[in-house]
Structure 1
Amino acid sequence: MSRFASDLKDVIEDQLERNLSPRKLRRFLEMVGPFLLIVTYAEDALRVVTRWDEQMMYMKMQMKWGRVLSALILAASCLAQAAGSTGVILRRQMRPACYTLLVFTVVQPIVYGQLGDADFVFRSLTQLGGLLLLLRHEDSLGRGTRRQSADLAFAGLGADAAAGGRGVASGARLQLIGRVLLMGIFFLQGGRHLFSRGFALLPALGFCALLSLSALVVIGFKARWSALILATSLGLSNLWMYPFWMVSGRARDFTKYYFFNTLSLMGGLLLLVSYGPGGLSMDHGSKKGI
């Protein structure tokens, strides 16, 4: 029996080594990360088309924009999100696509009157962080050397070192800003619940862990592992908190928005796992991968 267990262990380890190699894992993250990042934009663009009358009513009644201006704003919103999402998914004109989504994300809380909603604003900041990481990756390398350098970065050498030091200072700053913004919603939720009036030990410990992982990402220490843990936690909580397929009525639309938005937050975290924290981090120069 022990011989069988030993042989089975060797087979499992061999299969894991073959199928979960750093290169394969990095390619998987490079495919899934951008897709999840833009899924909320694609869903929102589809929502504008399929629920046009409801969107128009909100813009006219709540925002007082007027019929013509409301229609122009909604059309521009749909076009920007659809074009940006398509560019990222097809990996065509990535820089214009990222800039389009960046501008939309900044303008959206203003146009839709959500500046007073802290949760909405901080979720937007987190999306901005993911887009900046994606933009930094696209700007850092030429198309011909991107795959080789990405392999080196995932192995732990960092994107700046892998790129041969080109644009190290500006690129490292962009990655720093990206990962700080990426933690926005976690700092908000962790701080809000930790310092709320009600106190319970287990939730408090959970939010302390959340804040600790977020701080590790910001300073760039064990950033990949911290981001991976946060992404996994988000995925599990998303299924529990926002199961829109089980909700009916007006609450379905609300739940559906937050479900897809949370997927986008996960996408930004997976981009951090794939590309690394950059030069301005404690992990920079480490030869250990994830």
Structure 2
Amino acid sequence: MSAQQRIHLNPNAPRAPMMGGGGYTPDPTPSYRSTAQGTQDGFLGQVQQYSSKAEDFIEAYTQPIRPYVPALARFLIVVTFLEDALRILTQWGDQLWYLQKHRKFPWGLSHIFLFVNVVTMLACSSGVILKKFPEYAVFGLLGVVVAQGLGYGLLFDLSFFLRNLSVIGGLLMVLSDSLQNKKKLFAGLPSLSETDRRKYFQLAGRILLIFLFIGFIFQGNWSFARVIVSIVGLGACIMVAVGFKAKWSASFLVTLLSVFNVFINNWWSVHSAHPQRDFLKYDFFQTLSIVGGLLLLVNIGPGGISVDEKKKVY
């Protein structure tokens, strides 16, 4: 440490007198700082060590299923659209009645609206699962999200909005994954390379994926267990958003959301005539889609714009 740094640390400290041999007595201040710094480094080192062990554990025990994770993730991402298409077909009369009675759709336009939604969801979901024209499939499903929000009057409903932001995040992860082996996409944007586009889609996907959990934090009745889960989950969400230990934190959120989904959105335990059943079913499959997006994040990583990637450089 230079003399200027020592003076900055303790500007009022008297200068030490010269000793024999022309040296100075050492300033004791840095030793205290060194001790504190050593303690801090020791704590951070332990955290780093435990997190590395957790990552190694996840890597070791997920190795057998890793080849199947991308396909499972893509299926889970679009499962909410498949369920929605099936629900429209099985409740066609009720859907028409709602659109015409409450949303004031003219006769005929309501039929076209439902038909286009069903065809788009089935075709685009198949494209995502089979990796056929995934970029067009993703944009088709994004159009369905917006169209349904406007058509059913749910665009400004907070719960719907946050959940669909997370679903959009999962779709952006699919788009990012499709760019890995894609040579050319979006010819109108020549200034961005495929690698840059992939990084930006991964960043946007990571950030949007966490909005479901933010909605969970601000809804429902509070309890001690809910506070603990919210704090821990919010920490994991922040880690996912900034890309710090992203695979570990995304794996944790996959586990947390899966447990939450089974015990809270258990629509199968509700009588088929109960009106709450459809709402629980909708929430269940939307949560599965977000779990799929997090699984895809675990598989492809957080991308270039992340703390994990920067640590490799520095």
Deviation at 1:20, TM superposition (A): 4.4
- Find out whether 1:66 has 2:106 as its counterpart: yes
Higher helix share: 1
Q: CA RMSD in A?
A: 2.4
Change (3 A) 1:268 1:95: same
2:270 corresponds to which residue?
Answer: 247
2:36 corresponds to which residue?
Answer: none
Higher relative contact order (CA 8 A, sep 6+): 1
2:201 corresponds to which residue?
Answer: 174
Deviation at 1:200, TM superposition (A): 4.0
One-letter identity of the residue aligned with 1:275: I
How many residues matched? 246
TM-score scaled by structure 1?
0.78
In 2, Cα distance between the equivalents of 1:254 and 1:183?
Answer: 21
Of 120-129 and 94-103, more deviation after overlay is shown by 94-103
1:204 corresponds to which residue?
Answer: 227
1:215 corresponds to which residue?
Answer: 238
Change (3 A) 1:17 1:113: closer
| Kept after mapping to 1: 8 A contact 2:80/2:288 | yes
TM-score scaled by structure 2?
0.73
Structure 2 spans left out of the alignment, 5+ residues: 1-56, 184-191
1:276 corresponds to which residue?
Answer: 301
Of 170-179 and 219-228, more deviation after overlay is shown by 170-179
Deviation at 1:57, TM superposition (A): 0.8
| Kept after mapping to 2: 8 A contact 1:140/1:166 | no
Of 269-278 and 245-254, more deviation after overlay is shown by 245-254
Instruction: Please point out which of 234, 246, 257 is paired with 2:282.
Output: 257
One-letter identity of the residue aligned with 1:257: Y
Q: Which structure is larger by alpha-carbon Rg, 1 or 2? A: 2
One-letter identity of the residue aligned with 1:128: I
Structure 1 spans left out of the alignment, 5+ residues: 1-15, 144-164
Paired residues for 1:1-290 under 5 Å? 20=61, 22=63, 24-142=64-182, 167-190=194-217, 192=218, 200-248=223-271, 249=273, 250-284=275-309
Change (3 A) 1:60 1:127: same
One-letter identity of the residue aligned with 2:111: A
One-letter identity of the residue aligned with 1:123: R
